[in-house]
Structure 1
């Protein structure tokens, strides 16, 4: 008799499917509580009441409150960036820089202005806990920098092919994304509505300024 299957399948991190589901419930509950109450006020007991399970499970999986926050940020970031991976594949289908930048700009706004992202941004910007510097650094690495790195890599590929001429693609990526974002993130934090036409106009104008500048185009 074969003994290939001696127990439940395990994930590379060592968790069984049941363990992974338990972990996901805790992280989802943690996201809700952190966004609602802020890092400092968030209660580990409240999180586990929502997720179900024991405190010993939480400490075994994440170590402490900061470890839980870091894991939650990583999970959220990975989910957000699965969409950017799809865009990267689309960009490789020989799109023009104008098409690629518009696609990237629209997706960036969709993600940055989602209620979840706005909630996390508010949490990080208003946090006054002793872990503030670590929380803000983590957010920056998992959010803005990760978005920028992907766009910078695309711009560099266009420079290498001679399609674009950019002195610093990392800086250029930040400049483009800030043009697209404008004051939308602040308005979203203040609960002000943002129409689809505003997003479309912001992306279109950012792409036009980024690629062609503000001077009249020859023959235009």
Structure 2
């Protein structure tokens, strides 16, 4: 199912999924937008396919032809959202090519991380996944992890690995280190956002700066 969806769902703003006409592409977009609204409002288990199609317009046969099932629609929605929300992390790779210092690259990554994970859409998805009690719970959580935390971690991990190979940093496990930096930046912000507690820009800036200081203190090569 996932390979089929990857071929059918846009990977970026300019890509055209294989086999879809402009009209079909617009139909797909409407269905995915409606699905995102309904899933975030009602959760996966309570979301109604009929409700989604009422909002999107069109027939159930179109939905099943494009996505196969309710779970297939959810997977496609997650992939599309992940592409839009997390594509900006390509900037970490660009930073390395520009020759930015580790401090500059990590600062860019840290601020971008908070901007994305604390967005209303990301918080809504996190709430949806963490509170899901459907029979598909395990699959949905695995999909969210792969399309969210794991995906953005891979970008930073790859950057750190290049720093190790160039002798700039000394890190035994760059994948673990990337997750550790990410958690230092996030702190309790995600939990506070889930509870509706506001987080000031000053707090976010302070968290990013301190995470960089703590991380680089033990990561810089002598």
TM-score by length of 1: 0.90
Q: What is residue 200 of structure 1 aligned with on the other side?
A: 205
Q: What is residue 108 of structure 2 aligned with on the other side?
A: 103
Question: Equivalents in 2 of 1:34, 1:11: separation in Å?
Answer: 25
Deviation digits for residues 86-128 of structure 1 (CA, Å, limit 9, x no counterpart): 3421332000000100100000000000000000000000000
Q: What is residue 12 of structure 2 aligned with on the other side?
A: none
Question: Is residue 107–residue 209 contact of structure 2 (8 Å, CA) maintained in 1?
Answer: yes
Tell me, yes or no, if structure 1 residue 175 matches structure 2 residue 169: no
Tell me, which stretches of 5 or more residues in structure 1 are unaligned?
A: 1-9, 214-220
Question: Equivalents in 2 of 1:85, 1:49: separation in Å?
Answer: 36
Q: Whose radius of gyration is greater, 1 or 2?
A: 1
Tell me, yes or no, if structure 1 residue 127 matches structure 2 residue 114: no
Q: What is residue 73 of structure 1 aligned with on the other side?
A: 78
Aligned match for 1:162, one of 167, 181, 199: 167
Aligned match for 2:193, one of 188, 192, 214: 188
Question: Equivalents in 2 of 1:211, 1:196: separation in Å?
Answer: 23
Structure 1 residue 85: Cα displacement: 1.6
After TM superposition, where is structure 1 displaced by more than 6 Å over at least 4 residues in a row?
A: none
Aligned match for 2:145, one of 137, 140, 143: 140
Q: RMSD over aligned Cα, in angstroms?
A: 1.2
Aligned match for 1:152, one of 154, 157, 165: 157
SS in structure 2 of the partner of residue 92 of structure 1: helix
Question: Is residue 92–residue 159 contact of structure 2 (8 Å, CA) maintained in 1?
Answer: no
SS in structure 1 of the partner of residue 98 of structure 2: coil
Question: Is residue 92–residue 155 contact of structure 2 (8 Å, CA) maintained in 1?
Answer: no
Question: Equivalents in 2 of 1:86, 1:101: separation in Å?
Answer: 11
Question: Is residue 90–residue 155 contact of structure 2 (8 Å, CA) maintained in 1?
Answer: no
Tell me, which stretches of 5 or more residues in structure 2 are unaligned?
A: 1-14
Q: What is residue 38 of structure 2 aligned with on the other side?
A: 33
Tell me, yes or no, if structure 1 residue 83 matches structure 2 residue 83: no
Deviation digits for residues 135-170 of structure 1 (CA, Å, limit 9, x no counterpart): 000000000000111100000000000000000000
Tell me, yes or no, if structure 1 residue 92 matches structure 2 residue 84: no
Aligned match for 1:14, one of 16, 19, 41: 19
Q: How many residues align?
A: 204
